Amino acid sequence: MRVNLSDEFKTKYHGLLGDRSEKLFAAIETNSQSAFRLNPLKNDYKNVQYSLEQPIEYSKVGYFGDIDGNSIDHLSGYVYSQEPSAMYVAEVVDPQADEKVLDLCAAPGSKTTYLASIMDSQGLLVSNEINNKRARILSSNVERMGIKNAVVINNSPKDLEDGFEGYFDRILVDAPCSGEGMFRKDPEAVQYWSLEYVEQCANRQKHILDSAFKLLKDGGTLVYSTCTFAPEENEENISEFVERHPEMEIVPIKKYPGMEDGRPQWGHNNQDLTKALRMFPDQFNGEGHFICKMIKTGSASSAKVRTFKNQPTKVEMSYLDKFVKQNLTNNSLSEIFKVKDDLYQAATFDTRFKKLHVLRNGLKLGELKKNRFEPSISWMLALKPDDLNSVCELTDDQFAKYLHGESVMVDQDFSNKWIGLSYQGKLFSWGRYSNKQIKNVYPKGLRK
Domains of the chain: total: 1
User: Residues with Cβ < 8 Å from 366, sequence gap 6 or more?
Assistant: 320, 323, 342, 343, 373, 374, 375, 376, 379
Nearest CA among 147, 112, 145 for reference residue 126:
112
- The per-residue pLDDT for 390 is 96
How many other β-carbons are positioned within 10 Å of the β-carbon of residue 285? Answer: 15
Structural domain contains residue 350 = no
Mean pLDDT for 224-244 is 98
Q: Is 76 annotated as a binding residue?
A: no
Question: Is residue 307 predicted with pLDDT exceeding 90?
Answer: no
Q: Residue type at 299?
A: S
Structural domain contains residue 400 = yes
As a whole number of angstroms, the longest Cα–Cα distance in the chain is 74
Strands (E), 4-87: 35-38, 62-64, 79-81
Structural domain contains residue 426 = yes
Question: Is residue 310 predicted with pLDDT exceeding 90?
Answer: no
Alpha carbon distances (Å) from 79 to 58, 69, 146? 17, 9, 12
- The per-residue pLDDT for 346 is 95
Predicted confidence band at 304 (pLDDT cuts at 50, 70, 90)? low
Q: Over pLDDT 90: what percentage of the chain?
A: 92
Q: What is the CATH number of the domain that holds 443?
A: 2.30.130.60
Q: Give the strand pairing for 168-174 and 100-103.
A: parallel
Q: Is 400 annotated as a binding residue?
A: no
Q: Is 322 annotated as a binding residue?
A: no
Question: Is residue 300 predicted with pLDDT exceeding 70?
Answer: no
* Cα four-point dihedral sign 71, 76, 79, 80: positive
Q: Is 92 helix (H, G, I), strand (E, B) or coil?
A: helix
Structural domain contains residue 418 = yes
Nearest CA among 421, 420, 413, 417 for reference residue 433:
417
Question: Is residue 279 predicted with pLDDT exceeding 80?
Answer: yes
Predicted confidence band at 303 (pLDDT cuts at 50, 70, 90)? low
Q: Write the pLDDT tens digit of every residue in 23-33.
A: 999 999 999 99
Q: State how far the Cα of 244 lies from the Cα of 206, in Å rounded to an integer.
A: 10
Q: Is 308 helix (H, G, I), strand (E, B) or coil?
A: coil
Q: Residue type at 180?
A: E
Q: Write the pLDDT tens digit of every residue in 187-205.
A: 888 998 999 999 999 999 9
Full domain range(s) for residue 401: 390-448
Of 3-17, 89-103, 331-345, the range with the lowest mean pLDDT is 331-345
One DSSP character per residue, 315-342 reads HHHHHHHHHHHHHBS-----SEEEETTE
Give the containing element (helix H, strand E) for 367. Answer: strand 363-369
Q: State how far the Cα of 308 lies from the Cα of 326, in Å rounded to an integer.
A: 30
Q: Report pTM.
A: 0.96
Structural domain contains residue 434 = yes
Q: Is 77 annotated as a binding residue?
A: no
* Cα four-point dihedral sign 80, 82, 85, 89: negative
Q: Write the pLDDT tens digit of every residue in 36-82.
A: 999 999 999 999 999 999 999 999 999 999 999 999 999 999 999 99
Question: Is residue 94 predicted with pLDDT exceeding 70?
Answer: yes
Structural domain contains residue 394 = yes
Give the dihedral of Cα atoms 440, 441, 445, 448; nearest 10 deg.
-30
User: Residues with Cβ < 8 Å from 71, sequence gap 6 or more?
Assistant: 49, 79
Q: Is 385 annotated as a binding residue?
A: no
- The per-residue pLDDT for 1 is 65
Alpha carbon distances (Å) from 80 to 38, 60, 287? 7, 14, 17
Structural domain contains residue 429 = yes
List 177, 201, 227, 292, catalytic entry: 227
Structural domain contains residue 403 = yes
Q: Listing from the earlier edge strand, what are the strands of the sheet with 62-64?
A: 62-64, 35-38, 79-81
User: Residues with Cβ < 8 Å from 106, sequence gap 6 or more?
Assistant: 112, 127, 128, 129, 138, 152, 174
Give the containing element (helix H, strand E) for 22. Answer: helix 20-28
Q: Is 107 annotated as a binding residue?
A: yes
- The per-residue pLDDT for 235 is 98
User: Residues with Cβ < 8 Å from 436, sequence gap 6 or more?
Assistant: 409, 410, 411, 412, 413
Q: Is 201 a residue of the active site?
A: no
Q: Give the strand pairing for 100-103 and 426-434.
A: unpaired
Q: Is 345 helix (H, G, I), strand (E, B) or coil?
A: strand
